[in-house]
Structure 1
Amino acid sequence: MGRRSRQRGRADKLEAPTTDYPSPDGTQVLTLRGALSPKSRAEFARANDPAQARAAANLEDVRARAIEFLFERLVARWVVHDVPTEGAKGLLVRYRAATRDERSWITDVLREHCAEWFPDVKVP
């Protein structure tokens, strides 16, 4: 048996802690991870830097991309009206279809979560 096969069967796989954030109206719950790798932090710094943006991107585009980046990296699960969405692709599709109020709430949750777990990450 090779090394990779032995590692696949390990039961003690590390997982990041998660925190649930219910919406004010109680119809949604956003579950966020409590870990963000140094590489992801560096990528976020680049995504959040207007000087690194494409020439056609304005400040609002940079802000939207930075929030979407954090959403991709931190959200583990999103439950809307008892319908769960998991997985990076499904979550991103749901986020892009979100209403203005939902996006505002998500941004507030990301700010609160990052302030508690990642004080060096400033959500725009």
Structure 2
Amino acid sequence: MGKRNRQRGKLKAPTSTYGGGEVGVLELRGSMTPATRQQYNAVLHDLGRQTEDSWHRAVEFLFERLAVTWTINDVPTSGQKQLLMRFRMATQEERAFVRTALREHLTEHFPDLETP
């Protein structure tokens, strides 16, 4: 079977969109593998870090795994590397928006996971 035929059957995770206004629109993936869930719990409860450091790393981890696109001022950002770079240089207001969107998304789609 050729490569094109294999790609047709590939499933895509559902996405949800959050936000609007000045901080933009964030599109988040609606699925997470069991291994990623375990990694997230390990990052959130990392005993080798301060509580606040673990919390910040957990937010970044979730953003890295769940973000599909982030549109700010009508400029879309997509791709894991570009999204992570944009998140790392985000303003306080933008980071607060991302945290709120992630918390809402986890509550809705992953009720078994603890929110950061």
Structure 1 length-normalised TM: 0.86
1:83 aligns with 2:75: yes
Higher normalized helix content (fraction of residues): 2
- 8 Å CA contact retained: 2:43, 2:54: yes
Using the TM superposition, give the Cα deviation of residue 122 of structure 1 relative to its aligned residue in structure 2, in angstroms.
Answer: 1.3
Corresponding residue pairs, total: 114
Say which structure, 1 or 2, has more relative contact order (CA 8 Å, 6+ apart): 2
Cα 1:93/1:8, change in 2 over 3 Å: same
1:46 aligns with 2:29: no
Choose from 84, 99, 103 the match for 2:95.
Answer: 103
> Hey, what's the Cα distance between the residues in 1 that align with 2:2 and 2:92?
44
Runs of 4+ in 1 over 6 A off after TM superposition: none
1:36 aligns with 2:32: yes
Using the TM superposition, give the Cα deviation of residue 7 of structure 1 relative to its aligned residue in structure 2, in angstroms.
Answer: 5.9
Q: CA RMSD in A?
A: 1.3
What is the identity percentage for the equivalent residue pairs of Structure 1 and Structure 2?
Answer: 42
For structure 1, the 5+ residue unaligned runs are: 1-5
- 8 Å CA contact retained: 1:114, 1:123: yes
Structure 2 length-normalised TM: 0.92
For structure 2, the 5+ residue unaligned runs are: none
